[in-house]
Structure 1
Amino acid sequence: MQTSDKGIEALALEEGDVLRAYRCPAGRWTIGMGLTAASGVIKPRPGMVITAQQSRDLTRKALAAKYEPRVALVMTGAKQHEFDAGVLFDWNTGAIQKASWVPLWARKAARSAIETKYRLWNKGGGEVLPGLVARRERELLILFYASYPVAKESRFRPSVSIARWALPVDFAEKLAAMLAFDKLGYKVGTDPGAIPAAEIRRFQSDHGLTADGRIGRATLSTLQRRIDAAAKTKPVALAAVGTAGASSGATVPTGTSEVTDWIAAQPWAMGAAAGVVGIWGLWLAWRYRDVIAAKVSARAPRLAAFLRSI
């Protein structure tokens, strides 16, 4: 059994269909509908660009090689829409073979019991994520009612000056993203429906993304990496800045929250960080070299391009 065309389109709406390679929040090069080297069908690399048709073909190859066989094995006798829901679930979680809702579905248990178990798959990093909560609800609509999500089209032609949200995200997620953009210096305003496209294009250009003004998977994944870099490097930065400043006699500004800020702004920062925080600091700098690239892109575009290429 294969995923239907409606199932593929639902997957594209959930994952986005990014035709230029980008780093996912975990730092893996990704392209298309979330395809990494682990997919076995492509090895995304810096600067790689594919067509929309290639993306669909690669997605179907990945589904046929891994996901569809797993779903078919545990959802014997599934109707097309049920099979599609199982594929969407497994693509996101990789857990169709151990999910407790599947045996309940196979035994034709009460719908409420299946829904309860299905909705448990709403966490990331141990926390309930609103995006996953909403995603599970959309999958349940497919599973029980064959109701597939469709892209919403406005009756009005969108202004080229206003950024568009290219993924199904709720108000809370939009607000969190806007606050993060603003903290990084991108003036996106306070209205999720009127974000200046120019500011999103500036963010995309700074980070080596396709500057189309659309807030999609690549843009949000890159934004998440900036957020993660700030959170994970803060303790290291405080130690590195304090010790390095004291040893060098330099006047060190207070409030620095990212070691990548110092690496980008101070030539001695990499060496100082290595001396103070050792291998851990260097590893963080390496892991978030794309963040460093974004910080130095205006002053040193060649260095930024090199950091993005490795």
Structure 2
Amino acid sequence: MHTSEKGVAFLERHEGVVLKAYRDAVGVLTIGAGLTKASGVVDPKPGMTITREEASRLLALALERNYEPAVRDEMPRAEQHEFDAGVSFHFNTGAIARASWVDAWLLGEWDLARSKLLLWNKGGGKVLPGLVRRRGEEFTLLRWGVYHGAPPAAGDVRVAREVVPLDPTELAAVRTGFASLGYDPGEGLAGVAVEVVRAFQADHDLTVDGIIGRATLSTLQRMLDARKKAATTAAVGGGAGTTAPIAAETAAAAGDFPAWAEWVAWAVVALALARLAWLAWSYRDAIAARVQGVAPGLAARLRRV
């Protein structure tokens, strides 16, 4: 058995299909329907683009090589819609072989299968609303064969379209994120202004389509993480750099502090500076976005590495 066309559409709706390589929230280069180098079918490079047809081909190849065999092994005699639900889960988690909901499904214990499946809702130790929704839709597909995903109704043309609809809490967080980075999401709009999304995409070397998809959301999260980590490290490093060596030297001169303590203080400063350098390298795409206007050549070089 292979994933059906409706199953592929279900998967692509949750993963998003991005035709230009981008870095996910943890910095891994990604393209197509969430495909990274680890997929074994593509090695995304900065600036790489593919066609929609190629994205479909790569996804089909990844499913055939890496995901469908495991689902066939763990879900024998599955009906098509059950197989598609298993593939969606395994593509997202890689955990079909150790998921206890599969055992419950094999026994026909649907209530237990549902409760066990819904437990897979965390990312980075936190419950993520998007995963809560995905697991719920996967169970509905598994149990009743219902493929969610009608096209979104036409709305305010001033508002950016969302590939996966965001609930009010998620939307509020996205609006706050754009605003904190200096992109006014628009007052009185039930979403984010499409012009703002386009500006953000242009500044961060994304496909400028005015659509809030996986690449835009991942980049937004990376920029917010970069700002938070840089502020924290700068505060710690700045404090150490301006007070620790002076305090240690003064104390040592007064005979109240061992002389070696000054070297320890300078080591703390060196570690703080090293962390700043590591953050600068890890979030070089964030730096590229900041210098794009004044040093486009430097921005391009930062994005190529």
TM-score higher than 0.5: yes
Aligned partners of 1:180 and 1:223 also within 8 Å = yes
Match of 1:164 in 2: 161
* Residue 131 of structure 1, CA deviation: 1.1
Of the candidates 171, 175, 179, which is equivalent to residue 172 of structure 2?
Answer: 175
Cα 1:5/1:290, change in 2 over 3 Å: same
* Residue 237 of structure 1, CA deviation: 1.1
Superposition pairs of residues 289-308 of structure 1, within 5 angstroms: 289-308=284-303
Match of 1:132 in 2: 131
Give the distance between the partners of 2:136 and 2:187, measured in 1 at CA: 28
Unpaired stretches in structure 2, ≥5 consecutive residues: 245-267
Measured against aligned partners, the alpha-carbon deviations of 1:266-310 in whole angstroms (never above 9, x if no partner) come to xxxxxxx98461432211111011011111111111111111110
Match of 2:151 in 1: 152
Match of 1:68 in 2: 68
Match of 2:13 in 1: 13
SS of 1:97's equivalent? helix
Aligned partners of 1:164 and 1:214 also within 8 Å = yes
Of the candidates 283, 287, 291, which is equivalent to residue 282 of structure 2?
Answer: 287
Unpaired stretches in structure 1, ≥5 consecutive residues: 248-272
Match of 1:55 in 2: 55
Give the distance between the partners of 1:234 and 1:188, measured in 2 at CA: 23
SS of 2:20's equivalent? strand
Q: Give the partner amino acid of 2:219.
A: T
Match of 2:39 in 1: 39
SS of 1:64's equivalent? helix
RMSD (CA atoms): 1.9
Give the distance between the partners of 1:113 and 1:192, measured in 2 at CA: 41
Give the distance between the partners of 2:9 and 2:119, measured in 1 at CA: 25
Match of 1:257 in 2: none
Give the distance between the partners of 2:145 and 2:94, measured in 1 at CA: 22
Larger deviation, residues 31-40 vs 298-307: 298-307
Give the distance between the partners of 1:210 and 1:286, measured in 2 at CA: 23
Aligned partners of 2:175 and 2:191 also within 8 Å = no
Measured against aligned partners, the alpha-carbon deviations of 1:21-67 in whole angstroms (never above 9, x if no partner) come to 00001101100000000000000001111111110110000000010
Of the candidates 163, 169, 185, which is equivalent to residue 188 of structure 1?
Answer: 185
Give the distance between the partners of 1:132 and 1:198, measured in 2 at CA: 28
Of the candidates 217, 221, 226, which is equivalent to residue 223 of structure 2?
Answer: 226
Cα 1:141/1:190, change in 2 over 3 Å: farther
Q: Give the partner amino acid of 2:76.
A: T
Residues paired across the two proteins, number: 282
Of the candidates 193, 199, 203, which is equivalent to residue 196 of structure 2?
Answer: 199
Give the distance between the partners of 1:299 and 1:148, measured in 2 at CA: 48
* Residue 166 of structure 1, CA deviation: 1.5
- The share of aligned pairs that are identical, in percent, is 47
Match of 2:105 in 1: 105
Aligned partners of 2:241 and 2:269 also within 8 Å = no
Aligned partners of 1:7 and 1:84 also within 8 Å = yes
* Residue 165 of structure 1, CA deviation: 1.1
* Residue 236 of structure 1, CA deviation: 1.0
Aligned partners of 1:239 and 1:276 also within 8 Å = no
Q: Give the partner amino acid of 2:78.
A: A
Cα 1:40/1:192, change in 2 over 3 Å: farther
Give the distance between the partners of 1:151 and 1:283, measured in 2 at CA: 44
Give the distance between the partners of 1:77 and 1:89, measured in 2 at CA: 17
Q: Give the partner amino acid of 2:293.
A: A
Q: Give the partner amino acid of 1:292.
A: I
Give the distance between the partners of 2:12 and 2:273, measured in 1 at CA: 42
